[in-house]
Every structure is written in structure tokens, then in C-alpha cells.
Amino acid sequence: MTDFEKINIGDQMPSLTKEPISEIQLAKYAGASGDFNPLHYMDAFGKAAGQGGIIAHGMLIMGIMGQAVTDWIPNRNLKRFNVRFASVTRPGDTITVSGKVTGKSFESRGLITCDIAAVDQNGQVKASGSFEAWF
């Protein structure tokens, strides 16, 4: 883990690039999470919903963003984490998560605030948000 003293506003969080999202992963995530919205595994439902086919669970993308955060920050240090879903992810998309330190303060403990975003292979933002972590 990085030392609080060594973190500066503007620093980049180590980025994470995942294997392309697959339909099998969406089926696994549906079962694991209990989100059986057919939009995530029934092509015809995705088309009826105007999405052009299957789209990934937003929470899978947030889960991947959480992976990137906790690759860098120990889980117990995470204080708050939010994302806004910006565009849909489809099977075959490759997600890269990156983040940047935007705030640093110290009262009884150190606290940092970071921006975070998940983008696909074309740089399209899938979800963006922020998190706070204690030190």
C-alpha cells in the first residue's frame, strides 16, 4: 500500500485492464449477483428494450472498478465509492479502469478523494465516479 505522505493531488491510481467482457461472464455475474434482468442474457429482450442486444450489468462494471480500487487501497480503508453509469457495455468490450487523486486532507486520520472511470477499447466512458479512502 502507498504511504499517505507519498500521495499527492493529481497522482494516478494504477490502472486495471480486464479481459474482454464475455457472455459467459454475464451469465456468471447474473447467477452470482442474483440480477436476472433478461437484458443481460436474452438478446431478444435487449433488442425489445432498444439496446440492440445484450448489455452488461452496470454493477459488474462497478465491481471491476471496485477491483481496481482495492488493488491499490486495502478494502478496510475504503470509506465511500460512487459511480454514475454513462453508457452500456456489450460482450467483447475491454474495460480499463483509471483514477486520479483529487483531494487529500488530515484530521484524526488521512483521507484521500479520487476520481475514477471505466472506459472501453475506444475510450468511451462506461461509468465514472469517485471514492474516498482512509489512511
Using CB under 8 A as the criterion, which residues of the chain lie in contact with another protein when the complex forms? 18-19, 25, 28-29, 31-37, 45, 48-50, 57-60, 62-64, 66-67, 69-70, 74-76, 78-85, 129
**How far apart, in whole angstroms, are the C-alpha atoms of residue 58 and residue 76?**
24
57 vs 90, beta carbon nearer another protein: 57
9 vs 32, beta carbon nearer another protein: 32
Helix axes 58-72, 23-33, angle to 10 degrees: 90
CB of 10 to another protein, least distance (A): 24
8 vs 40, beta carbon nearer another protein: 40
Check if the beta carbon of residue 118 is closer than 8 Å to that of residue 97. yes
CB of 27 to another protein, least distance (A): 9
